[in-house]
A and B are shown apart, each in its own frame.
Chain A
Amino acid sequence: MYKYKLKRRSFIKSSTLAATGLIIGFTYDPKKSLAAKTKIKNELGIWIRISPDDTITLIVPSSEMGQGVNTSLPMIIAEELDANWESIRTETAPANSDYKNPEGHGGQNTGGSNSVKGFWNLLQETGAAAREMLVTAAAQRWNVPLEECDTKLGNVIHKNTNKKLSYGKLAVAASKIEVPSSPSKKSKEKYSLVGKSIQRIDVPEKVTGAAKFGIDIRLPEMLFATVRQSPIFGGEILSLDEVAAKAIRGVKAVVAVPNGIAVVADNTWRSKKGMDALNPQFTGGETPHLSSLNIHNKLITALDKEGKAKIDTEKSLDLEYEVPFLAHSTLEPMNCTANVKENSCEVWVPTQNQGMSMDVTKEITGLNDEQIKINTTLLGGGFGRRGETDFVTQAVTISKSLNKPVQVTWMREEDMQHDFYRPACISRFQIGLSKEGLPIQWENQLAGPSILKRFVAAMGWFGVDPTSTEGANELPYTIPDFNFDYSLVDTGVPVGFWRSVGSSYNAFFTECAIDEAAKLANQDPYEYRLKLLKDQPRYLKVLEKVVKNANWVDPLPKNHGLGLAIHKSFGSIVSTVIEVSSNAPGIIKLQKAWVVIDCGKVVNPDIVKAQMEGGFIFGLSAALGEEITLKDGRVEQSNFHDYSILRLKGSPKISVEIVESGSEIGGVGEPAVPLAAPALTNAIFSVSGKRIRSLPLSKHGIVIA
């Protein structure tokens, strides 16, 4: 009776193709977008709206999940537009393929640390073109040559007479002017916004409580729902007590959703109480006997089948590293609000994936793009989890079934137990060292599940997943004989993109392996890396800066140790040193961390610093205490009492330096995450002689003071 029916096959086809990036070759024409079909009188295309009172609204194509895009992306347009920053307002873009990231993967989504990187050129051109249209409108009005006009802080100025017209007064006329084919961009010396640590636009509302996250949406007559899904992945409802649920005050309905059941009430707490009374029991499922131990064994079996390489050098290493599944645990749990009517549907959702949210909404409602509006709210954390659409499917399904606006909020327990987890993996190394102690043969075998396989299964794809292998399949180090193999192992646990994805574990594996090689060669880990990076000037600069900042060569206080790591991900090179101390066995204090990043170009240095600090803490938290384990087919952890996230106590001081190399622009949201685990475990080795080869540290009896 509660079995949910969804046209699963066509759903997978239409939505998942769009999200993988395997469909290559969509074209994107900023000129077209600027002259967009929907243009109204004060709009300069789909990106810029100028009011008569000179307020300028810039449309932000990416989801704001803390990484600062509501500030950094508008800064790029405003710079070229020569706008007055005080007059800037922002709005997150609706679901519309015109807002796809030109360098992104597939549909309209936010991920891969790709917002500034991917939109940089497009937004520059958009701002520059709009500026030129405003100048042209002013020149026409004054009947003077274009060359006599300039712009400053939201005004066009006639240089000869000092006459000026504000953008607000010119917007309507400018919107009728043809979009210039090759607008001239500012030279870097003239920048007044880009490169400056301008305060974030979203901070004031985030300190007053006025900021609206998905969970804060309130609509007239809106009902509140919560869900329970089969604790064994893919199970079905066996029994439930609908009478008991409906006896709870405020409970309005019980509705079937994919993989589970929803209770709808007049507030969130009553829906939860109703769910407890409903007491749904589940049966079946795809993997009822799944356990962490048998997943470990499966990975080992795959690696044994692959076999180890033979190393002939006198000095060699034979290593095995392992990481667990991890939860995203965004502090705002999964939620979505939908209002499905007969001929329209509106959705409010904290999503990283407007494209797929649109696709699932179309699939369930049978409505078309024009009838559906997807509103992206602020996201209380994303980290990859909100690229999924399971919660969108639920809200739209329930609202459609009740013909009422409905907000679905997951209780933390659901959020923890129904994630798409960071894959658990095992990595083996056989490394041969030269007489000088440098690695001349590097053999690395990785085994783990594939994230992309879920998305492209419909295409019959079963090759190597680049998101599993990134960070290990090539290294910056000069190693003559380098071999890397990947064994795809299906574990039965849903896996997904988790902040920094493959690099989140591969950097731990490879940067610890290099440290072990340095130790075997009896060489300093910094000097060892220097030798191996002699042909990599960008890496060298970052490495040299971080060790200088950390005073690597100076003697340390007693019982202190330093750990070093360097890794490139999402186009940015990051190196970190962490100092730890230990005055008793197993008790470690994180003293201080130094982070240096070369992300090529920088829009807002303070936002980059914040991402380095936050990313590093995110990685430390995982390394120290996070672990999802399975028993009898179920995730064992359920809330923050048994899934340990780092708190203020124990967090180190962090100093960040940015190297502006002018190289190709890289991302900043993810690249600090991978460094934490290797730097920390290398530091622990340095202070204690104890080499940790599996995470988290808590299971090795290590306690953070």
Chain B
Amino acid sequence: MHSLMINGNTHQVDVEDDMPLLWVLRDELGKTGTKYGCGIGQCGACTVLVNGEAVRSCNFPVVAAEDKEIITIEGLGNNHPVQQAWIEEQVPQCGYCQTGQIMATTALLFKDLDPSEKEIEDKITNLCRCGTYVRIKKAIQRSAELIENQKG
């Protein structure tokens, strides 16, 4: 039995130690906003926050997530500044990768509200097959502005 703190709630899950967090979220807890794309940490569709760090949950064993604060896309609610920026810039096409892109951006901006273009390119490495990168870049910058404004 593993005890997981996800989006502020505690969940007990009876799964193997090596089961990736991704599949616990999706298949055991019904949190399907986190996506499967590759299973080897290459594409980033499964990105969640673990203690504030962007983690690719497809190769992150559940045992390593115990006693840590996990935030999934569902935990951002529906009006988070990064989500607002994504809507303003009309980023998603098919949308499958976007929850991962949003989580990766949230982690990046959590650490640095004024990332350089190079930093954005180095840190946001999630794949988007529809090719929305032009808008992702704009939306990251817009997200930073919105977070800054929110701080007032």
Contacts and interface: CB of A to CB of B under 8 A. Distances in A.
Given A207-B99, A412-B39, A648-B136, A613 B90 contact: no
B127 A332 contact: no
B27 A268 contact: yes
Given A333-B36, A412-B38, A618-B129, A610 B93 contact: yes
Contact of B90 (A199, A409, A620): A199
B92 A206 contact: yes
B92 to A, nearest CB: 4
Nearest to A198: B90
Interface in A60-119: 65-68
Size range of the chain A interface in the assembly:
35 or more
Prevailing SS type, chain B contact patch? loop
Nearest to B120: A648
Size range of the chain B interface in the assembly:
35 or more
A12 B77 CA distance: 47
A216 B27 contact: no
Contact of B94 (A66, A272, A620): A66
A647 interface: yes
A331 interface: yes
B54 interface: no
A617 interface: yes
Contacts, number: 182
Interface string B32-45: 11111111101101
A564 interface: no
Contact of A648 (B39, B83, B137): B137
Contacts of B30: 218
A269 B93 contact: no
Contact of A213 (B16, B91, B96, B128): B96
B97 interface: yes
B23 A610 contact: no
Given A66-B95, A640-B38, A648 B131 contact: no
A614 interface: yes
Contacts of B102: 207
B92 A203 contact: yes
Contact of A268 (B26, B33, B37, B38): B26
Interface string B76-97: 1110000100110011111111
A210 B33 contact: yes
Interface stretch (A375-383, A517-525, A533-541, A688-696): A375-383
- Residue among B19, B37, B45 having the largest count of chain A Cβ atoms under 10 Å: B37
A606 B23 CA distance: 36
Contact of B19 (A204, A216, A269, A381): A269
Contact of A381 (B87, B99, B130, B136): B130
Interface of B: 16, 19-20, 23, 26-28, 30-40, 42-43, 45, 72-74, 76-78, 83, 86-87, 90-99, 102, 120-122, 124-137
21 contacts: A67-B93, A202-B92, A203-B92, A204-B87, A207-B78, A207-B102, A213-B35, A213-B96, A215-B36, A216-B26, A330-B94, A381-B96, A610-B90, A613-B131, A614-B93, A614-B130, A617-B132, A639-B39, A640-B42, A640-B43, A651-B134
